[in-house]
């Protein structure tokens, strides 16, 4: 038996491909969702008598994710990438073609074994998810509205003569800026010195959790926002651990062990660094301080606490700044979830987000 990371399998692809393997197990197979990457191309060269992919999120954003993973297991089953897009992805995602959806389900269902957490862990304590809306003050609210209007103006100027791909790029850049502004105005306009209501609300929640003898995981996509939150914790004497993508692997393990044995009331984690591979059942609260586009990534983050070994109910708070872009992102989660469930369970409602729909997020909901 050989256990290797995807990075090592890519680096030593030729050596791995020289041997005929009896079984190839691809854990966390969502890492193989992009068929154009060197990683996926390297894995595709490994000869094996039997192949098994394990993932909690076979469809993170669009049906092409599923095609990439299935093509590694059963090459040609779903045709080429182009054929798959023409026969299934476009019809299901954009036209909501029920016949195409049914055909795809019949093709993949013999090769799928789906088990939800509730099915395999019936004794796992319940998980409660709460949308916690944060009300910005008048100054911050005016700033967010001015930022939204400025984003609309810049997109209109940049998109004159731009193609669809460039249009999406421009809109995504502006949306990211608005998301950061909704976390805290200092992330985009530090010269104004406006301290966001979310930081203040986070401090209050942290104090309440510590007073109630709870431990919490805190996830954000933005490491500079996590550092603002860390400053707040320092000022009120709350102990914590910290982890982001720059944390060395050895140190990462030490901090996880330290938190599990009680060193730190909170654990601040970047969403990318903490999406998988961590067991943090010492926490019974999860704070997602900025909602992400992809609810599957948030589910992975919640799963760091809500997993085997957890003995207490887990409560998840999503901190959403009222009146900001974050409210519209939370609304999008419903469509994203249904895209995966539609193929795996037969109730497709979802579709990917196009440039026009991204632009609509900038306008008032």
Mean pLDDT of 122-150: 91
Residues 222 and 314 in one domain: yes
Note the pLDDT of residue 125: 86
Question: Both 277 and 228 in a single domain?
Answer: yes
Last-in-domain residue among 173, 195, 217: 195
Mean pLDDT score, 120-132: 83
The answer on pLDDT for 103 being more than 50 is yes
Answer whether residue 82 is part of any domain.
yes
| Spatial contact of 74 and 111, defined as CB atoms under 8 Å apart | yes
Residue pLDDT, tens place only, 271-304: 877 666 688 889 999 999 998 877 777 888 888 8
Query: Can you give the CATH number for the domain in which 62 is found?
Result: 3.40.50.10810
Q: State residue 275's pLDDT score.
A: 61
Q: In the prediction, which pLDDT does 350 show?
A: 40
Q: Is the pLDDT of residue 197 over 90?
A: yes
Is it the case that residue 118 has pLDDT exceeding 80?
no
Residue 343 belongs to a domain:
no
The predicted structure's pLDDT at residue 198:
96
Of 306, 323, 340, the domain-final residue? 323
Residues 126, 108: one domain? no
Same domain, 176 and 250: no
Decide if 349 is inside a domain: no
Same structural domain, 42 and 64: yes
pLDDT in tens, 255-276: 999 999 999 999 999 987 766 6
Task: Please tell me whether residues 146 and 238 are part of one structural domain.
Answer: no
Residue 102 within a domain: yes
pLDDT of 237 over the 90 cut: yes
pLDDT score at 120: 67
- Residue 24 included in any domain: yes
Q: Is residue 355 one of the residues assigned to a domain?
A: no
pLDDT value at residue 365:
43
Q: Are residues 201 and 315 in the same domain?
A: yes
Average pLDDT over residues 167-190: 89
Residue 168 located in a structural domain: yes
Asked if the structure places residue 352 within a domain, the reply is: no
Average pLDDT over residues 136-158: 89
Residues 123, 246 share a domain = yes
Same domain for 146 and 271, yes or no, is: no
Mean pLDDT value across the chain: 86
- For residue 172, pLDDT over 90 is answered with no
CB burial string 275-295: b at 16+ within 10 A, e below: bbebebbbbbbbbbbbbbbbb
24: pLDDT strictly greater than 80: yes
> Same structural domain for residues 122 and 242?
yes
Across 205-222, average pLDDT: 95
| Domain ranges, residue 187 | 138-195
Are 227 and 85 part of one and the same domain?
no
Query: What's the average model confidence in pLDDT over 145-167?
Result: 76
- Residue 64, pLDDT > 60, answer yes
| Residues 32, 100 within the same domain | yes
What is the number of structural domains in the chain?
3
We report the CATH number of the domain holding residue 308 as: 3.40.50.300
- Has residue 351 got a pLDDT over 50? no
Q: Which of 98, 113, 128 lies at the terminal end of a domain, its last residue?
A: 113
Q: Which residue has the higher pLDDT, 199 or 120?
A: 199
């Amino acid at each position: 038996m050989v256990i290797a990371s995807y990075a090592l399998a890519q680096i030593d692809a030729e050596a791995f491909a020289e041997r005929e393997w009896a079984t190839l197990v691809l854990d966390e197979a969502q890492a193989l969702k992009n068929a154009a990457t060197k990683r996926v191309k390297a894995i595709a060269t490994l000869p094996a008598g039997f192949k098994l992919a394990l993932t909690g999120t076979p469809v993170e954003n669009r049906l092409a994710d599923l095609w990439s993973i299935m093509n590694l297991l059963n090459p040609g089953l779903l045709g080429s990438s182009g054929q798959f897009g023409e026969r299934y992805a476009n019809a299901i995602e954009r036209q909501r073609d029920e016949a195409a959806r049914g055909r795809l389900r019949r093709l993949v269902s013999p090769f799928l074994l789906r088990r939800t957490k509730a099915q395999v862990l019936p004794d796992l304590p319940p998980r409660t998810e709460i949308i916690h809306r944060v009300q910005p003050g008048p100054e911050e609210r005016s700033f967010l509205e001015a930022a939204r209007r400025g984003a609309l103006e810049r997109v209109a100027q940049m998109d004159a003569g731009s193609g669809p791909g460039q249009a999406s790029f421009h809109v995504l850049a502006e949306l990211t800026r608005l998301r950061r502004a909704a976390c805290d105005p200092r992330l985009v306009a530090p010269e104004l010195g406006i301290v966001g209501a979310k930081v203040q609300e986070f401090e209050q929640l942290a104090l309440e959790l510590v007073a109630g003898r709870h431990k919490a995981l805190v996830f954000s996509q933005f490491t500079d926002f996590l550092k603002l939150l860390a400053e707040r914790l320092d000022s009120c004497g709350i102990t914590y651990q910290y982890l982001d993508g720059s944390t060395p692997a050895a140190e990462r393990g030490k901090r996880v062990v330290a938190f599990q044995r009680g060193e730190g009331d909170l654990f601040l984690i970047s969403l990318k660094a903490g999406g998988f591979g961590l067991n943090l059942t010492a926490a019974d609260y999860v704070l997602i301080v900025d909602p992400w586009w992809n609810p599957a990534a948030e589910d992975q983050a919640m799963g760091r606490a809500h997993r085997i070994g957890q003995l207490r109910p887990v409560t998840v708070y999503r901190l959403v700044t009222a009146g900001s872009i974050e409210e519209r992102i939370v609304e999008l989660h419903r469509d994203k979830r249904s895209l995966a469930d539609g193929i795996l369970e037969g109730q497709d409602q979802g579709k990917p987000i196009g440039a026009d729909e991204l632009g609509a997020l900038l306008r008032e909901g």
